[in-house]
Structure 1
């Protein structure tokens, strides 16, 4: 049984005995990856606690191999007639879990309400969305929140548990079997075993303002396969990006492969893992590659790498200084200067240099 100290709003240290901790993980792929250090730090601080990660079904596969947790609490969102039934089921499962401490890495009212309905005894979360009265331990955001990396903002929520902000990086775990299956997929695509695989992710979930120009991704892919006959480019994306990537890959030849919408999340992790280099916008796959220690190049436009950039590979970024960036808009209202200033030749050279370093290291 682990002993945890909870700080109340009056900064009074109250000793409680805790056997069960539940962490409500973020809903987006990239945010969830950036939140994984929380699970690791909790396990280090309280090795005897039973730790549960709670997350939506669509992102839950990311944590299937995570060693820091004892249970993965999956749930699905429902709308309309089925919403009340779904909410009752979630509350019932939370009650059966009999959790001593709940940590909210989401800032919504509904996530705090679920913990309350589910009988979670101690609820820790940031003051947001008018939900402070639902939290037993409300935490104020740092005044420098807009200057800090999101990983650090997540870590600061552990202060009431006596856990200081650590250097723990983001982590995803891919098994040897999954890596072997990824190589099997590559073989079925008639890719040579000695090929140098370059992954490209040209999409992003938040909006087009985060995305480099499609024709420039196509130009880079063309340059890469021309540079070396062993270079193979694989484009990744979900179903929503099939048309985008299909247009990019048109007439680029057999060594440029379109896997958009053809992989599940675990397969995506394994395929990114075997890439020699990964080129990407600010996106969930960027954080996946970073957490798997895959050398990457991240292109930034409307968003800030200081807040949501790759946590481990912060130097592997291309971003041009323009007066309006970062604007954090979904769609650029003007002429997209932040992304247009990034040239295809510049990106090609950086990818090839990174690829050369990887080959030399081997």
Structure 2
């Protein structure tokens, strides 16, 4: 079985629920996953996956040559079926070019013929992403189970111990992880000053505070540290994605926006507080029972816009530090 994985980190983590469902319904099936280079570390932490296959194409890039070369290499493997999780035309090219006989997916954009095992899609506003994708792991007409498997990434405890030493993270007291970024845009980001104030309050109660994020988010992490009065440690850009998996597993709780790292944290089994602004847990929920949701029920939310169209981002500005702090206690 070949699975074409999504490009976004959060979607790739949620896709593990589909892979786990597929593995449970077809015992012994060998599952290989095509993924962009930045998501490969996550795929390699999924026990259901036999091989993570890199698609060396940039985000948003068509890359016909790279897709053709990959398809030629995969043609010899004898896959019987491909699952196409993205809805784009380009995502359907490799299985079609590789001659995989059964290509399962939603019709998406101009994919008639490329997808020959078409499944209905109720649309983003009618069902959570993971339930829309789960139908691809089933036979035609089969109902999606009420309860789906939860993503669970494997943790490398030896690497976690190495990182604790290398980054000087050892110490006493529980750890609070903060994820102040969101690649989607500012309408998903609770203000850095609020994250910093939360860090200061939790540090005063004996917690250690680590800020997670990419290298591009390092300045954002510095804002949080400055607002905390130096109570937080900025790990943005100092860790690989697989390192974040291991370090998050050491956290007592993670406070996060609706972001890719929110899904990573959920898949480590760590307790979460998730702050929603322009998006909604009805469509991209953390796939764990250990999550607490903080949001504002405004007439304009969720708008799903990258930048607040009204210019006030009240859905996030209206969430106070004290409210989030209360979710961090048992």
Q: Same fold (TM over 0.5)?
A: yes
* Corresponding position: 1:156 with 2:135: yes
* Corresponding position: 1:336 with 2:313: yes
| SS of residue in 2 equivalent to 1:37 | helix
Unaligned regions of 5+ residues in structure 1, if any? 1-20, 358-362
The residue correspondences of 1:209-220 to structure 2 (distance < 5 A) are 209-220=187-198
Distance 2:283 2:64 in 1: 36
Q: Indicate conservation of the 8 Å contact 1:95/1:118, yes or no.
A: yes
- For normalisation by structure 2, the TM-score amounts to 0.92
Aligned position for 2:201: 223
Deviation at 1:76, TM superposition (A): 1.3
Distance 1:281 1:81 in 2: 27
Aligned position for 2:214: 238
Of 300, 308, 321, the residue aligned with 1:324 is 300
Choose 1 or 2 for highest CA Rg: 1
- The structure carrying a bigger helix percent of its residues is 1
| SS of residue in 1 equivalent to 2:162 | helix
Of 224, 242, 257, the residue aligned with 2:233 is 257
Q: Indicate conservation of the 8 Å contact 1:25/1:105, yes or no.
A: yes
Distance 1:160 1:125 in 2: 12
Aligned position for 1:104: 84
Q: Indicate conservation of the 8 Å contact 1:23/1:52, yes or no.
A: yes
Over aligned residue pairs, what C-alpha RMSD do you find? 2.2
Aligned position for 1:116: 96
Larger mean CA deviation between 84-93 and 158-167 belongs to 158-167
Deviation at 1:78, TM superposition (A): 5.0
Aligned position for 2:120: 140
Distance 2:58 2:32 in 1: 22
Aligned position for 1:16: none
Unaligned regions of 5+ residues in structure 2, if any? none
Change (3 A) 1:38 1:114: same
Larger mean CA deviation between 239-248 and 337-346 belongs to 239-248
Q: Indicate conservation of the 8 Å contact 1:214/1:248, yes or no.
A: yes
Provide the aligned length of Structure 1 versus Structure 2. 327
- For normalisation by structure 1, the TM-score amounts to 0.85
Distance 1:161 1:294 in 2: 35
Distance 1:74 1:81 in 2: 15
Aligned position for 2:178: 200
